[in-house]
Amino acid sequence: MTAQNPYKKLEQRLGYRFRKGILLELAITHPSYRHENDGVDDDNQRLEFLGDAALGLAAAAHLYATYENMAEGDMTLLRSRATNTKTLALIATDLGLGEYLKLGKGELCSGGRERTSNLADAMEGVIGAVYLDGGMKAVERVFKKKWIPVILEGVESDDAGENPKGALQELAQKHWRVSPDYQILKQSGPPHARIYTAEVRIGKLEAGRGEGPNKQAAETEAAKAALKNPEFRRRKKTRPSGTK
C-alpha cells in the first residue's frame, strides 16, 4: 500500500497491516456497490465464506489449547458465541468498520453502515482477507487481540445464556487458571424419574449445587448456581484455597 493509506487507522485498530491493500478494500465492498458501479467486478461475499472458516478454526484452536478439560459441547457453544452475527457486528463496530464500507446508494441511504448484517459480513470478509494476506498466524493474532476480550466480557455478564458451564469454565480459567470440578453427590427417586444432585467446586470452594433428571442437567444447574453465588462472585478477584 502507498504512503496515502486510507485504511491506516482501521489496520491499527485491527492489529494487522496488510501487504496487499486490495484485499482489505475487497473485504469492505458490499454487493450493492458492485451492482451500481461499472468496472467493479467483485465484492466481499467470497471472502466472507473464507473468513467464516478461518475464524471458526482460530476459535476452535484457542479453546482446545486453553481449556484442556472442557467438553466438546461446551467448546462448540463458546465457538458459536465467538463467531455469531452479534459478536461479529460488535467487533466491527469497535473497529469503526462501518465508516469504511463501500455501499450502493440505496443501501447507504437506508442505514447500511450501521446494519448488523452488513457489519458482520464485512467482518468475516476482513478475516478472510487477513488469511489470504498473512495466513492462519495472522488470523490468530487478530483473534487474540479482538475476539478474546469480547468473549470474556460476555462471560462476565450476569446472563450466562445457554451455556452456564462454559461461562463458569471461562471465569475459573481467567481468574484462577483452574477448571471447575463437578461431582455427582447423590441420585434419588424411582428408575423412571431419577433426580441427580451435582456439586461444582473451584479449588476447595463449594461454588454451587444443582439438581436435574440426568447428570448433565444437574451439572448445568450447579454451574448456574455458582454464577449467581455471591461468595463466588466476591472471590473473583482473589484466589480460592486449593488453587495454584
Q: Three-state DSSP class for 206?
A: strand
Fold of the domain spanning 8-156 = Ribonuclease iii, N-terminal Endonuclease Domain; Chain A (1.10.1520)
Residue 25 a catalytic site member: no
Rounded to two decimals, the pTM is: 0.67
- What are the contacts of 173-181 at 24+ separation with CB within 8 A? 173/66, 173/67, 175/236, 175/237, 175/239, 176/202, 176/203, 176/239, 176/240, 176/243, 177/243, 177/244, 178/202, 178/203, 178/243, 178/244, 179/67, 179/68, 179/69, 179/70, 180/207, 180/223, 180/226
pLDDT tens digits, residue range 189-208?
A: 888 888 999 999 988 889 99
Closest by CA position to 184, among listed 162, 164, 214: 214
What's the CATH number for 164-237? 3.30.160.20
Residue 159 a catalytic site member: no
Domain residue limits, the chain: 8-156, 164-237
Lowest mean pLDDT among 42-51, 139-148, 155-164: 155-164
Fold match flag (8-156 vs 164-237) = no
Set 43, 48, 52, 221: catalytic member: 52
pLDDT tens digits, residue range 144-194?
A: 999 987 766 654 554 455 678 878 887 887 777 788 999 999 999 888 888
Set 48, 107, 121, 124: catalytic member: 124
